[in-house]
């Protein structure tokens, strides 16, 4: 494919040591040659690929020196986009990098759309769609574990497995075609149905393996939505600050200080928590606080994990008991805080109300019990499931939804095969499974979805 030449700033805006303006397309090196002047006087087009060159950028219309730069050239097809790529390394100020970008746009490049470099890598066959999505997962990774999952996907581990599943289905479909074309041979049918059941069962089991890792993978990608709840002044905001290790929430001894939802990401033993500190859930006449309380109730319903904070130095109240009722059946850890004060809470009653939920005691004031809480969180969601390096983790919600559909489709095919349905009817479900798996890697995906996915990428990627 041949596209026009695009350019964008590929580093974050702001002050820094360097910034990079990236160009990609057939005219990338030609545009750079119009504005680049090296001490040797050599043209970039005459230089070897994958080399970097010192010089200055000049405005051809005025002869004015615009910036002192280092220019990398990478010639097709051994580049990320499989097109000629130029990266201009300039000083990292906002003015400097914008002057460079404006100059290359003036000389014929077009400003890239968000994700257009990765989109070209996909369209030119450099990566498939699942690998392209992993690029953004890698950028957004908040823990080492999340980054490892994204790296495996970017390197094609998921793509390879999906390819093997689709190949098995193709072999089945080819056998069905033989059965349809030569119905006069009885032994063809005898071969086709057992083969379909054998291949279909293997595909179903492999999809089930992927789906078993999906909950952990999705948490690693998006973060575990963790809501801190408790009546006012039990130490919720102090707990948030202790986990985040900096003061994000206002901590006072006045009930109702937290009027809104406060969100913060934190890495707990390799698990990214999307921590939410809520307004204390209580009856109140304060209109602003009441809105916060209602929003807290809504957030509670959407949470993956509840940290229910209680005050060790007070007996359980009706409000505490209502919180236990509101979180019944959810993954929950009970945090008994303020253990530095004389204990008045009835621990037996707490254990009865929490059921099988974990109970951790803390004194956030004295920084005691936080390690035990972090260990409980990691154990609750990932005990014995996340250390297997040979597992392929599915973390993308789009992939998970397609795998569920593919699983249903292959189940229908197997049920039909075992129920004596004609093979040409079974073929419909097998083909549907093949197409759904193809959507994961982009082989059978629509252009509108491709455009939507890449529009979510950052500019310059």
Relative to beta strand 262-268, strand 271-277 is: antiparallel
Query: Is there a single domain that holds both residue 197 and residue 280?
Result: no
CA distances for 74 relative to 54, 243, 446, angstroms: 15, 45, 31
Same domain, 268 and 146: no
143 lies in which domain range?
Answer: 132-219+396-442
CATH classification at residue 51: 3.30.1360.120
pLDDT for residue 283: 46
Regarding whether 286 and 360 lie in a shared domain, the answer is yes
Among the candidates 358, 382, 406, a domain finishes at 382
Tell me, what CATH number does 153's domain have?
A: 1.20.120.430
Residues 290, 302 within the same domain: yes
Q: Report the alpha-carbon distance of residue 461 to residue 234 in Å, rounded.
A: 45
388, part of any domain: no
Three-state secondary-structure class, residue 329: coil
> Do 165 and 62 share a structural domain?
no
Residue 454 lies in a domain: no
Is 459 inside a domain boundary? no
Q: Return the residue matching tokens 């990765």.
A: 118
- Of the candidates 95, 93, 114, 132, the one whose C-alpha atom is nearest the C-alpha of residue 6 is 114
Per-residue model confidence (pLDDT) at position 449? 61
Which pLDDT value is given to residue 219? 74
Per-residue confidence (pLDDT) for residue 388, from 0 to 100: 42
Return d(Cα 71, Cα 58) in angstroms, integer: 13
Q: Is 452 part of any domain?
A: no
Looking at the fold, whether 257 and 341 belong to one and the same domain comes out as yes
Statement to judge: residues 243 and 366 lie in one domain: yes
Residues recorded for the chain: 461
Report pLDDT for 181: 60
| Residue finishing a domain among 97, 128, 159 | 128
331 in the same domain as 267? yes
The reported pLDDT for the residue numbered 453 is: 64
**CA–CA distance, 271 with 382 (Å, rounded to integer):** 9
Helices (H) and strands (E) in the chain, counts: 15, 13
Q: What is the pTM of this model?
A: 0.64
429/406 same-domain check = yes
Q: Report the chain's C-alpha Rg in angstroms.
A: 29
Per-residue pLDDT of the chain (461 residues; tens, 9 = 90+): 668 999 999 988 778 889 999 999 999 999 999 999 999 889 999 999 999 999 999 999 898 999 999 999 999 999 999 999 999 999 988 899 999 999 999 999 999 988 899 889 888 988 888 888 887 777 777 767 677 777 887 888 888 999 999 999 988 888 777 666 655 555 555 667 888 889 999 999 999 988 887 777 777 777 778 888 888 888 877 888 888 774 443 333 333 333 344 567 777 777 778 777 655 444 444 444 444 455 556 667 777 888 888 888 888 888 888 888 877 888 889 999 888 889 888 888 888 888 877 888 888 888 888 888 888 887 877 654 444 444 567 878 888 899 999 999 999 999 998 888 888 888 899 999 999 999 988 887 667 666 766 676 666 66
Which among 74, 70, 69 is positioned nearest to 85, based on CA atoms? Answer: 74
Instruction: Determine, yes or no, domain membership for 96.
Output: yes
The answer to whether position 240 is within a domain reads: yes
In a domain, 449, yes or no: no
pLDDT at position 409, please? Answer: 95
Domain final residue, candidates 128, 158, 184: 128
- DSSP secondary structure string, 412-438? HHHHHHHTT--HHHHHHHHHHHHHHHH
Q: Is residue 453 part of a domain?
A: no
Query: Which CATH number does the domain housing residue 282 bear?
Result: 3.40.50.300
| Residues 24 and 86 grouped into a single domain | yes
Same domain flag for 26 and 117: yes
User: How many distinct structural domains can be found in the chain?
Assistant: 3
Report d(CA 58, CA 38) in Å as an integer: 11
Residues 142 and 166 placed together within one structural domain of the fold: yes
DSSP 3-state assignment of 264? Answer: strand
């Amino acid at each position: 494919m041949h596209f026009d030449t695009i350019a964008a700033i590929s580093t974050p805006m702001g002050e820094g040591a360097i910034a990079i303006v990236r160009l990609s397309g057939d005219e990338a090196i030609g545009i750079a040659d119009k504005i680049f002047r090296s001490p040797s006087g050599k043209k970039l087009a005459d230089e070897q690929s994958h080399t970097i060159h010192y010089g200055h950028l000049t405005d051809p219309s005025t002869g004015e020196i615009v910036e002192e730069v280092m220019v990398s050239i990478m010639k097709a097809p051994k580049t990320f986009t499989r097109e000629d790529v130029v990266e201009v390394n300039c000083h990292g100020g906002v003015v400097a990098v914008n002057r460079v970008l404006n100059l290359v746009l003036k000389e014929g490049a077009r400003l890239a759309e968000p994700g257009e470099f990765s989109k070209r890598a996909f369209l030119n066959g450099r990566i498939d769609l699942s690998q392209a999505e992993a690029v953004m997962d890698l950028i957004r990774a908040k823990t080492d574990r999340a980054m490892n999952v994204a790296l495996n996907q970017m390197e094609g581990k998921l793509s390879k497995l999906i390819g093997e599943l689709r190949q098995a289905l193709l072999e089945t479909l080819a056998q069905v075609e033989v059965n349809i074309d030569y119905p006069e041979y009885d032994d063809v049918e005898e071969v086709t149905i057992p083969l379909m059941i054998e291949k279909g069962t293997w595909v179903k089991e492999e999809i089930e393996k992927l789906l078993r890792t999906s909950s952990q993978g999705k948490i690693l990608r998006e973060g575990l939505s963790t809501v801190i709840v408790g009546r006012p002044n039990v130490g919720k905001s102090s707990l948030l600050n202790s986990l985040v290790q900096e003061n994000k929430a206002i901590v006072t001894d006045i009930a109702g200080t937290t009027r809104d939802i406060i969100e913060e990401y934190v890495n707990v033993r390799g698990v990214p928590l999307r921590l939410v500190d809520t307004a204390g859930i209580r009856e109140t006449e304060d209109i602003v606080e009441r809105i916060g309380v209602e929003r807290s109730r809504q957030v509670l319903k959407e949470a993956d994990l509840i940290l229910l904070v209680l005050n060790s130095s007070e007996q359980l109240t009706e409000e505490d008991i209502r919180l236990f009722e509101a979180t019944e059946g959810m993954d929950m850890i009970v945090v008994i805080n303020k253990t530095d004060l004389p204990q008045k809470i009835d621990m037996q009653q707490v254990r009865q109300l929490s059921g099988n939920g974990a109970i951790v005691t803390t004194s956030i004031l004295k920084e005691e019990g936080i390690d035990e809480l972090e260990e409980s969180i990691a154990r609750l969601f990932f005990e014995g499931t996340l250390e297997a390096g040979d597992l392929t983790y599915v973390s993308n919600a789009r992939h998970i939804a397609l795998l569920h559909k593919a699983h249903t489709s292959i189940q229908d095919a197997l049920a039909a095969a075992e129920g004596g349905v004609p093979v040409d009817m079974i073929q419909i479900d097998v083909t549907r499974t093949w197409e759904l798996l193809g959507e994961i890697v982009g082989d059978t995906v629509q252009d509108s979805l491709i455009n939507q996915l890449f529009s979510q990428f950052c500019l310059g990627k």
